[in-house]
Amino acid sequence: MTSASQAVNDSRSNHPAFEWVRSQTIDSLNITVEEYRHRKTGAAHYHMAANNDENVFLVALRTVPMDSRGVAHILEHTALCGSERYPVRDPFFMMIRRSLNTFMNAFTSSDWTAYPFASQNRKDFNNLLEVYLDAVFFSRLDEMDFAQEGHRVEFAETDNADSDLVYKGVVFNEMKGAMSSVPSTLWQTLCKHLYPTTTYHYNSGGDPVDIPDLSYQQLLDFYRTHYHPSNAIFMTYGNISAEEHHASFEERALSRFEKLDINIHVPEEKRYSAPVAAKEHYAFDEEGSSDNKNHVVMGWLWGQSANLQDLLQGQLLSSVLLDNSNSPLQRALETTELANSPSPLCGLEDSMRELTFVCGVEGAQAADVDNIEAMILSTIQDVADNGVPQQQVDAVLHQLELHQREVGGDGYPFGLQLILAAIGNATHRGDPIAVLNLDPVLEQLREDIKDPEFIKGLAKKLLIDNPHRVTLTMAPDSELSAQRDQAEAAKLAEIKAALTEQEKQQIIDQAHALNERQRQKDDESILPKVGLEDVPPTIRQVTGDTATLGGMPTHSFSQGTNGLVYQQVLIELPALSDELTALLPYYTSALTEIGIGDKDYLATQAWQANICGSINAFTTMRGAIDNEQAVSSYLILSSKALSRNQQQQAQLMQQTLQDARFDELPRLRELVGQQRARREQSVTNNGHSLAMTAASSGMSPVAQLSHQLSGLAGIQAVKQLDDSLQNEAGLQAYADKLQELHQLILAAPKQCLLVAEADKLAQCQQSISTLWADTPVATKTSPFKPDTIRQINKQLWIANTQVNFCAKAYPTVTSEHPDAAALTVLGGFLRNGYLHRAIREQGGAYGGGASQDSNTASFRFYSYRDPRLEETLQDFDGAVNWLLETEHDPEQLEQAILGVISSLDKPGSPAGEAKQSFHNNLFGRSHAQRSGFRQRVLEVSLDDLKRVTSRYLTPESASLAVVTNQSNAEPLGDFVKINAIETQTV
């Protein structure tokens, strides 16, 4: 499968500043990994040479804070606020606008900080590389940027020293939002107990209680010791050679450094000699009883993540226990009467120095904690004593192989996925190449699992006989939020009481100075850029063939899938009653989680695990390209599998549709409970999307259904449904309705999508033809046609969150309308020119922006993890006024257009591009239509932006939605009444 490390490699770099260490070809990933060391500083460089135009860069620094003041996180933000060569206030966000990047960001992990980007354009890649290298190694770290991005105090009324002090800062508010999430709080608390002495004991992102204690000098000191090439790891991917990278690294950064005698690392954690039990609390701000809202989780420390044998054995055991509902521990957690559902933390965390295994439940009574712990331990003991069926272990290895082979790239670029898979091992001074090349270790595991004692031994060694175990109970506390607010207010009052008049004036002066600095216009010309002349003239087209197989239209695409087959069966949604429509998200969630034919759901889960990498169902709905009120809707059953399993994959999909059984009532009840738990936890991470969906829910049928089925109204609905299934009669009625919905869907017209390598397509097509030959031909039924809608909505939603999410929406047009291109460019133009400064820099929100959604014919403003409410809504209006009343630089327009083009041209995985092409055509978005829209985007003028703003973004047509907590909502009383805002609770 792989070549040995080679003594000679013709493609390796010969740059004199770097020493070649080794090269290894990994056939399953179609890459050759080359390892280098910078001779002078010792910086490591791993280059993944690939025949791919999308080149990726990442530089990572080991960052090991020993407190929760957020120094690594605040430094990540502040480092991107100007550097030696680019002394402008915001080069990172400026470059987003001056680039054709396919990815730009920065990450703070638990023990490393990374700065990655990707681009398909060579000029753009080099531009970004210059800026990133200067930002990381020659950051200016202005104290004003520290105040803006990290934390500061200001008077609530800027010029009034008699008003209260308040905390501000982007990271401060970001982490307030992050720690509103119960799973995040649960994870940080578990780590505090599992890791008593190392960096993982602390919150690397920063705890809002501790962040204000970080001083500017401490930030500078941390930068000087951690942001040095001797502590750096470079990783690259793509068709730019390592030698070319080395010339850039040396010229732009590394030549100016000498080796620093540092060894930043995470030491091995001190091990417990006996298990630990801990109980803590989380903020519970919901209405109703908190009796069964306890979280009970158990965590163990295993071996070293940098040890490949430890890593793979840990992944194997974790998957054997938790992979699916037929896995012994997962089954116990799902079916126990002691709790509502498994904990969202269940699984193996392998990014830290030591592997962390977690399992547990949520929705438990306080009195049941001991019983839950006993249930978990007895389940593991049974595995240690009796093992699991060999078929289950084989299925886990099958999943690991499939994961190794799949070519991703539909979320993060594929090269970045590979880099992120390896970076943890590299930071812990392991072998990142071995982590990428799993085939030899998989072969060893296949031999290991032939021994029936192997899994038993792992369960005994890693879990039963491992004393480094923590059982954590997180109990709800309805007073905790108020207590935190009071403690913060008391701390600020104490600070204010100790201020001299001179110090009060300094706070006022700093606020004015920061505001002035945020308003100043920097000279962007010092930054490199690409222009419209660098935009490719056309977009990539992926085409397939269509034939009727087994009476079903089948669309086939030949793509380089590295031995995988992707199949989808698409069913046109039939006409449905409102009651059945409301059940669609529960039906799609259940379809692949219940039994098939004579198999119960456990046997079905085992069957799926042996055949495919995933199988899932979902609905997709889009408005027409020229009429948002005309909706096309499909239910899709989708799966992926290794090509050797494609016939069984097709059979599994057919039987899932034909023979799904809705008579396993306890299973249906479990699935609704699990869905409720997931949906309730989604608000703090996706509040901006939920708010935008709510604000635009009156714009079109698709927007309304999105709000009702998967938005804030959908969260309300799943809670009500879950409560209604407490008795047998309610559960049976629910199952009967699912069966009724299933029969209507079965009778509707179907078609199939196949994506595979060219030499596998004929075999796949034969399987489809044979399996579906005897299936009754679907009769043409009345399609799903939701009622038209075009109305203004104003909603305020109360949720369990410390921060706010604001949205405002306006009815606009579909993609074929002549104004759609200008509205699409307008979103980026408003974000770049006004909203970023007003909402993020000045307002302190983690993010804010605007975008045109042509699918729902709406233009939407949003803010994310925002400390403000009314002021942000006013900023949305201020952006409109700014656009209409200001003379704008044509370069601002070019930047907004580049952002749209970058998004339209972003590549996907080979399979993803085929699926996207098919689905675009399915909904009338042909290559010609999309090319025409892209060309119209390139032709947008400043006059077009003003015209569409005046026409569509009018005060009388605005809808709005706000997600906040009860205490923040109370001062809005008059605002809510005057604006006729409907208030609801999530």
Q: Can you give the pLDDT at residue 778?
A: 61
- As a whole number, mean pLDDT of residues 818-822 equals 98
Q: Can you give the pLDDT at residue 1?
A: 32
Q: Can you give the pLDDT at residue 92?
A: 93
* CA of residue 45 relative to chain centroid, distance: 27
Q: Are strands 152-155 and 959-964 parallel, antiparallel or unpaired?
A: unpaired
pLDDT at 4 over 50: no
Task: Name the residue among 135, 388, 286, 168 with its Cα closest to residue 719.
Answer: 286
* CA of residue 313 relative to chain centroid, distance: 27
Cβ atoms of residues 531 and 377 within 8 Å: no
403 pLDDT tier (thresholds 50, 70, 90): confident
404 pLDDT tier (thresholds 50, 70, 90): confident
Task: Name the residue among 782, 751, 744, 759 with its Cα closest to residue 919.
Answer: 751
* CA of residue 155 relative to chain centroid, distance: 35
Residue given tokens 């919901």 in the structure block: 286
3 pLDDT tier (thresholds 50, 70, 90): very low
- As a whole number, mean pLDDT of residues 881-885 equals 97
883 pLDDT tier (thresholds 50, 70, 90): very high
- As a whole number, mean pLDDT of residues 40-53 equals 96
- List pLDDT tens digits, range 654-665: 999 999 999 999
Cβ atoms of residues 360 and 346 within 8 Å: yes
DSSP letter string over 864-931? EEES-SHHHHHHHHHHHHHHHHS---HHHHHHHHHHHHHHHT----HHHHHHHHHHHHHTT--HHHHH
Domains within the chain, CATH numbers bracketed: 18-184+194-265 (3.30.830.10), 276-477 (3.30.830.10), 794-985 (3.30.830.10)
Structure token digits, residue 817: 């309308």
Q: Can you give the pLDDT at residue 779?
A: 66
pLDDT at 7 over 70: no
Task: Name the residue among 830, 829, 849 with its Cα closest to residue 839.
Answer: 849
- List pLDDT tens digits, range 323-382: 999 999 999 999 999 999 999 999 999 999 999 999 999 999 999 999 999 999 999 999
* pLDDT, averaged across the chain: 94
- As a whole number, mean pLDDT of residues 685-707 equals 97
- As a whole number, mean pLDDT of residues 262-268 equals 94
Say which residues have a Cβ less than 8 Å from residue 140's Cβ, sequence separation at least 6: 81, 82, 83, 84, 87
Taking the C-alpha atoms of residue 700 and residue 316, their distance in angstroms, rounded to an integer, is 47
DSSP letter string over 353-393? SEEEEEEEEEEE-GGGHHHHHHHHHHHHHHHHHH---HHHH
Buried b / exposed e across 409-422, counting CB within 10 Å, b at 16+?
A: bbebbbbbbbbbbb
Continuous segment of H or E residues that includes residue 38: strand 31-38
Structure token digits, residue 951: 């026409």
Taking the C-alpha atoms of residue 890 and residue 460, their distance in angstroms, rounded to an integer, is 67
Q: Residue count of the chain, please give it.
A: 986
Q: Are strands 750-756 and 552-558 parallel, antiparallel or unpaired?
A: parallel
Residue given tokens 């197989």 in the structure block: 549
Percent of the chain surpassing pLDDT 70: 98
Q: Can you give the pLDDT at residue 369?
A: 96
The β-bridge partners of 56 are 118, 237
Structure token digits, residue 417: 């996925």
Cβ atoms of residues 550 and 769 within 8 Å: yes
Phi, psi of 452 (to 5 degrees): -60, -15
10 pLDDT tier (thresholds 50, 70, 90): low
11 pLDDT tier (thresholds 50, 70, 90): confident
Task: Name the residue among 56, 48, 54 with its Cα closest to residue 31.
Answer: 48
- As a whole number, mean pLDDT of residues 677-691 equals 92
Say which residues have a Cβ less than 8 Å from residue 146's Cβ, sequence separation at least 6: 74, 78, 216, 219
